[in-house]
A and B are shown apart, each in its own frame.
Chain A
Amino acid sequence: MIVCAAVIGQQNNPLYLETFQQAGTGSEGALRFHYIVHCSLDAVEEKLLQPQKTPGEPSDAYLGFLYPTEDFKVYGYVSNTKMKFILVLDDMAPKDEEMRLIFKRFHAAFIDAISNPFYTVNTPITSPSFDASIRTIMTTV
């Protein structure tokens, strides 16, 4: 199950973070995930610096499994525009194809949210409709 979804901007600035845990966590839970997501940025950077496996093969936006914490697994995806999408899962092994699909839908929802003319680029996303669509994507897995 996905317990946290986050979007990090081009200058590694947090744009969005939402947690999907059962009741009882509150703001302390969110803080904890802020920390996990923050740590994952190093792993993202490392993955981006890795040379391509075979030259000429197009590199994928989906970065796969980034790193484990005590209770969670962190997955990453980076767009062409250096927007980073991070998902934190509690213990289970999802298939890469499934994760890829979830990230694609996550990215699509994000694109729709930033296309709002009242949204300023590189500021936190507060749109309730984005919230709702993320919630649908992440809880229907």
Chain B
Amino acid sequence: MSLVKGRTCSESCMELLSLELVHYYARQNNIPAPAAVEAIGFRVGRQLAERYTANRARLGEPLEVIKFICKEFWAAAFRKQVDNLRTNHRGTFVLKDAAFRWLSKLSVDPLPPGVPAGPSPVAELARDYLILPCALIRGALVHLGVEATVTADASNLPACDFTINIKSRN
């Protein structure tokens, strides 16, 4: 990995940490869990953006920033590149990852026979675990000067879609 240069960590440790992070904040009664996880992700995203862009040519347009996120940032943080990038040219970008690594181990108990299947239980479960990666991406974007919102959709795991909405300048 060209960006990381020897600064790597064990993938299983990383997985366990992100798992425990969500569980830890879910157990805290006095802090709203999504906000706490979001804040951590946002801060780390900003720091990663500073580190990963240190040795590269200057980024200008928001599109260049998005491309950087898809290629280099994704490769460094999630160990692969984004598989597909779509845009409506009005500030909305959809990043499709066919096998999002952070959710590759996620599964739910199979329903007992006879119980009608609800609205995709895996997606429900994945929602909590997607707050951190979304916040990471948003933090990196904001730090590179692109104000945006990031949402994720994991209705057909392991594929995962991230939608970036850039806030218009005016």
Distance in angstroms between the alpha carbons of A111 and B47 in the assembled complex: 8
A79 → B minimal CB distance (Å): 7
Distance in angstroms between the alpha carbons of A82 and B51 in the assembled complex: 13
Please name the residue on chain B nearest to A110 by beta carbon.
B50
Interface hits, B29-86 → A, CB 8 Å: 43, 46-47, 49-51, 53-59
A60 and B54 in contact (CB under 8 A), knowing A81-B145, A114-B47?
A: no
Task: List residues of chain B with CB within 8 A of the CB of A59.
Answer: 57-58
Q: A73 at the A/B interface (Cβ < 8 Å)?
A: no
Number of A-B residue pairs with CB-CB distance less than 8 Å in the complex they form: 44
Chain B interface, number of residues (Cβ within 8 angstroms) = 16
CB distance A111 to B58 under 8 Å? Answer: no
CB distance A79 to B47 under 8 Å? Answer: no
Which of B43, B57, B144 is close to A81, meaning CB atoms less than 8 Å apart? B144
Chain A interface, number of residues (Cβ within 8 angstroms) = 19
A107 → B minimal CB distance (Å): 6
Q: Interface residues of B: mostly helix, strand, loop or mixed?
A: loop
Q: 1/0 per position for B106-144, CB-CB distance to A under 8 A?
A: 000000000000000000000000000000000000011
B42 → A minimal CB distance (Å): 9
- A–B pairs, 30, beta carbons within 8 Å: A10-B145, A58-B57, A59-B57, A60-B57, A60-B58, A61-B58, A78-B58, A79-B50, A79-B53, A80-B49, A80-B54, A80-B58, A80-B59, A81-B49, A81-B143, A81-B144, A81-B145, A82-B145, A104-B55, A108-B54, A111-B47, A111-B50, A114-B47, A115-B47, A115-B51, A117-B43, A121-B43, A121-B46, A121-B47, A121-B143
